Chain A
Amino acid sequence: MKYSKSLGLYIHVPFCVSMCYYCDFYSLGGRAAQMDGYVKAMCAHIRDYGALCGGYSVDTVYFGGGTPSFLGEKRLAKLLSEIGKRFSLSRNAEITVEANPDSMSPKLLKKLKKAGVNRLSVGIQSADDDELAMLGRVHTFAQAQDAVRRAQDAGFDNLSLDLMYGLPGQDTGRFLRSAEAVLALQPAHLSCYGLKLEPGTPMARDNPVLPDDDAQADLYLALCNRLCEAGFEHYEVSNWARPGRRSRHNSKYWDLSEYLGLGPGAHSYLGGRRFAFVRDLDAYCAGVTGAGGPIVFEEEDVPTMRRHGEYLMLRLRTRDGVQEETFQRLFSRDFAPYAAKLAPLAQHGLAAQELGRWHLTEQGFLVSNSIINEVLSADDPAEGPANLDL
């Protein structure tokens, strides 16, 4: 059988040892007793969607959370085997599991490796123990170092590490010391996110003073320079990879590829629709097993008309950016109006163009929200007063 379309599969694991103070992903602190019910429901969901996605070949699988590693090796292996049974998983699929240093036992690592997991994303966040405590992380940096070495010993060479910037009291020196310590762990990939106070999180309630936007920009650019020196490619706003080590799964988010997200609070883009499942474990489990109500809580059709806007919005987050000809071919739409918006940005060093390919510079990444809105404003009706009765 020939599979014409590829699919990314995301499995949301809503369990954590305890909630980090900054996190607003859907997760439950320490409800281990519910894990078995979750795995049962997830298997049912995988089965149902596997049947629906017969025409797809799954080439990336991503276990995100929460803390997937906290689920334990047995349950993770069970989910992976269910995926292997119900979906057609391509042979060289990228299979990533997010893991936290505190739950990366040698046993778990060994079992995951055996089950086919070939990429780990480890939440290090900082190499500074005071910062880790402030974030509500349950591990020290020394523990994180050990965990990473254990993973490497277990044969994981495709390691992604997470780092945060813009923490309270963080200056460039302190941040670069963290970055240096993380680089010393030899990751293949780095994700670096700015701390944002999300409403409803304990940290937002504490409302600490964060470095101002200028200082955050300086932190970001300092990291950009350091990682460039270290041979990393800055391929998306928050992501760096050694050559050939980009996250194939995350890349799908940025080029309108299709992905299916299963689990409470998981998002999908499938068949021209964006949808998400309810952010409530009990409701999700009940719904999946047929005992509850509908579980799709957010749904949006993306009309063909608007897809080009999403494409621009997403592609401009990447170093590959937008190729004029590709855009015109995909959407039968002239790129010139957008190029006209990008050209002045290029003059100010925020964007660049090579051989018809437009992308943002690192300075441009930093203000990508404003830039994307500016570029999309090319679609707005002409400005100026309408017919006035003068």
Chain B
Amino acid sequence: MKDQNKIRNFSIIAHIDHGKSTLADRLLEQCKAVSQREMEEQLLDNMDLERERGITIKARAVRMEYEADDGETYEMNLIDTPGHVDFNYEVSRSLAACEGALLVVDAAQGIEAQTLGNTYLAIEDNLEIVPVINKIDLPAADPKRVKQEIEDIIGIPAEDAPEISAKMGLNIHEVLERIVRDIPSPSGDPEAPLRALVFDSQYDPYRGVIVYMRLMDGRIAPGMKVKMMATGAEFQVIECGYMQPLGLAPTEGLSAGEVGYFSASIKNVADTRVGDTVTEAGRPTAEALPGYRKVQPMVYCGIYTEDGSKYPDLRDALEKLQLNDAALSFEPESSIALGFGFRCGFLGMLHMEIIQERLEREFDLDLVTTLPSVVYEIIKTDGTVVLCDNPHDYPDPVHIEEAREPFVNASIITPQEFVGNIMPMCQERRSIFKDMQYLDSTLVELHYEMPINEIIYDFFDALKARTKGYASLDYELSEYRKSDLVKVDMLLNGDQVDALSFIAHREKAYSRARRICEKLKENIPRQLFEVPVQAAIGGKVIARETVKAVRKDVLAKCYGGDITRKKKLLEKQKEGKKKMRTLGTVQIPTEAFMAVLKLDEE
């Protein structure tokens, strides 16, 4: 059994680009967890997408052995966390699996948004925060000011924080010593019934689901029958062990305080939800670990393939992604404009973008997506309640007694100087101000009730833009509230384009409809005749633009009888048309759909 005094479980909190992954790589190197040869930049982010975006999408964990200056060898478990509000819940579960966290701050830029949000999550979980000043090799580095900032804003001592350069490999040793010295060792009861926190799970085609967990109490070993306390599923452990940077290392068992994995021929990640508690089926623990939440999709959109015949490929790809992502949901739908596709549910916009990008990259699909929507609750005149996440299913207004939209309790932490920028932005988004608290002399926490509809498109990006990246956002679904909702249909040449319909609050419908009309006008190539682009609520047109007719498209000369050349030119034009979707008499390129989706990025 492992001596818990020799275990340290920690995570790293850092803003994008502040060097989290590079530091992780250096720690692994110093502990000789990977050989130089195996050292691929940023080992922990092993999805291409993560490396490129510089963000961690799924939590990762790795064990390393560190021989400290005191002569003892410590088992160090680094649990990496995702870094976006869409994945806040995953972050909180990863943090809950640790006793401490390294707070990595850029010596030039100082504290930024994500740092704050995640640091507060860590403090709430009673983690010991160890500040680390990174990038001291930069000419603009000002470690003294940054340390002061940490003390002022977060309120933890930072005077003797290690000053390092992960890139240059400078002072990494000091960081490791600090982990040993400052982060408490775990203190679970190895003799108590098994109680382990699931912080991630991943599907492996050979072993089934691999469940990543932190043992709080008790032990686990192959052969043991375990139970997932939230889902109730029971499994017989086939293998358990710990994580190495480049794979899994099976052991005879794990005990309280350790971080590791087990596999048990589990077929579906949905059975092993993040935040769930693993216990021994025959000797269950009295109480599950706190904080479990069933993850619900907040945002829905339709996903289609540009080439209709790739529909089965899309289905296969979604099934494969879902094996690893319990938060992704999908079901078949069809659209007159786009053909056959899927209605997919996501945690938030980033989650949606990531899934779309993975489908395009890892499965080589060209996608067309519809406008994202939240789930609305409609009470019909006959008293029935329907949930609606698809404008296509939105009932006729005469049958609606009351329409409701989901609200969240949002908390925004920001330096006080930006409050003046944030408040009008929230007001524009129909948010209800609740209160404002001073966390210290400069830092403010704002509470709002906001419709998710207003958050999903661009709120997070706008917030960052207006606060130089300092503000952080966290939100939690609160309730459905009565709302003046309308369904807006888009019409091209009088024909409705189902894939472009959207549900919005009446106040917002007009400006949004106008902008979509403008976007379509810009992106639909001129046709042989004028095409009116209209937005309508019910039968009433609320916005209109016109795609002008093409005026000139002619090969002037039939070059001395060179008919072949003319045919080739026509063939080429025809190829271009194939990439367009024909709706009634109008041809729309895929880009037009895409441009409408990107509406809010401007």
Residues of A whose CB lies within 8 Å of any CB of B are 10, 12, 25, 64, 193-194, 196, 213-214, 216-217, 220, 237-238, 250, 252-254, 259, 261, 265-269, 274, 276, 298, 300, 310, 313-314, 317, 344-345, 348, 350, 365-374, 376-377, 383-386, 388-390
Give per-residue flags for B537-561: 1 if the beta carbon is below 8 A from chain A beta carbons, else 0: 0000000000001111111111111
Q: Are A216 and B570 in contact (CB under 8 A)?
A: no
Q: Choose the segment among B121-129, B234-242, B306-314, B469-477 that binds chain A (4+ C-beta atoms closer than 8 Å).
A: B306-314
Cβ contacts under 8 Å, A266 to chain B: 560-561
Q: Are B560 and A365 in contact (CB under 8 A)?
A: no
Cβ contacts under 8 Å, B569 to chain A: 369
Asked if B529 CB lies within 8 Å of chain A CBs, one says yes
A388 contacts which of B340, B528, B554, B560 (Cβ < 8 Å)?
Answer: B340
Q: Are A348 and B528 in contact (CB under 8 A)?
A: yes
Residue of B nearest to A259 (CB): B561
Cβ contacts under 8 Å, B577 to chain A: 373
| Count of inter-chain pairs, beta carbons less than 8 A | 124
Q: Are B528 and A367 in contact (CB under 8 A)?
A: yes
Q: Are A254 and B558 in contact (CB under 8 A)?
A: yes
What are 20 A-B contacts with C-beta separation under 8 Å? A10-B560, A25-B560, A259-B561, A261-B560, A269-B563, A274-B564, A310-B563, A314-B558, A314-B563, A344-B585, A350-B528, A367-B528, A367-B550, A367-B552, A368-B555, A383-B582, A385-B308, A385-B309, A388-B340, A390-B332
CA distance A366 to B528 in the complex (A): 10
> Besides A313-B570, A385-B311, 17 other CB < 8 A contacts?
A10-B560, A64-B560, A253-B561, A253-B563, A254-B558, A266-B561, A267-B561, A276-B564, A300-B564, A314-B558, A317-B558, A350-B528, A376-B570, A384-B339, A385-B339, A385-B340, A388-B312
Chain A nearest CB: distance from B316 CB in Å?
A: 11
Residue of B nearest to A310 (CB): B563
Asked if B573 CB lies within 8 Å of chain A CBs, one says yes
CA distance A253 to B564 in the complex (A): 12
Q: Are A389 and B312 in contact (CB under 8 A)?
A: yes
Cβ contacts under 8 Å, A389 to chain B: 312
CA distance A388 to B341 in the complex (A): 11
Cβ contacts under 8 Å, A261 to chain B: 560-561
Residue of A nearest to B548 (CB): A214
CA distance A196 to B112 in the complex (A): 56
Q: A310-B567, A373-B573, A385-B309 are in contact. Are A368 and B554 (CB under 8 A)?
A: yes
Q: Are B529 and A238 in contact (CB under 8 A)?
A: no
CA distance A389 to B573 in the complex (A): 31
Of B309, B340, B563, B574, chain A has the most CB atoms within 10 Å of the CB of B563
Cβ contacts under 8 Å, A253 to chain B: 558, 561, 563
Asked if B562 CB lies within 8 Å of chain A CBs, one says yes
Chain A nearest CB: distance from B580 CB in Å?
A: 11
Asked if B32 CB lies within 8 Å of chain A CBs, one says no
Asked if B566 CB lies within 8 Å of chain A CBs, one says yes
Cβ contacts under 8 Å, A213 to chain B: 550-553
Q: Are B574 and A194 in contact (CB under 8 A)?
A: no
Q: A253-B563, A374-B528 are in contact. Are A386 and B309 (CB under 8 A)?
A: yes
B554 contacts which of A298, A365, A384 (Cβ < 8 Å)?
Answer: A365
Give per-residue flags for B160-184: 1 if the beta carbon is below 8 A from chain A beta carbons, else 0: 0000000000000000000000000
Q: Are B563 and A274 in contact (CB under 8 A)?
A: yes
Q: Are A370 and B553 in contact (CB under 8 A)?
A: yes
Q: A274-B564, A298-B564 are in contact. Are A388 and B558 (CB under 8 A)?
A: no
Chain B nearest CB: distance from A269 CB in Å?
A: 7
Chain A nearest CB: distance from B314 CB in Å?
A: 11
Q: A345-B528, A348-B528 are in contact. Are A276 and B562 (CB under 8 A)?
A: yes
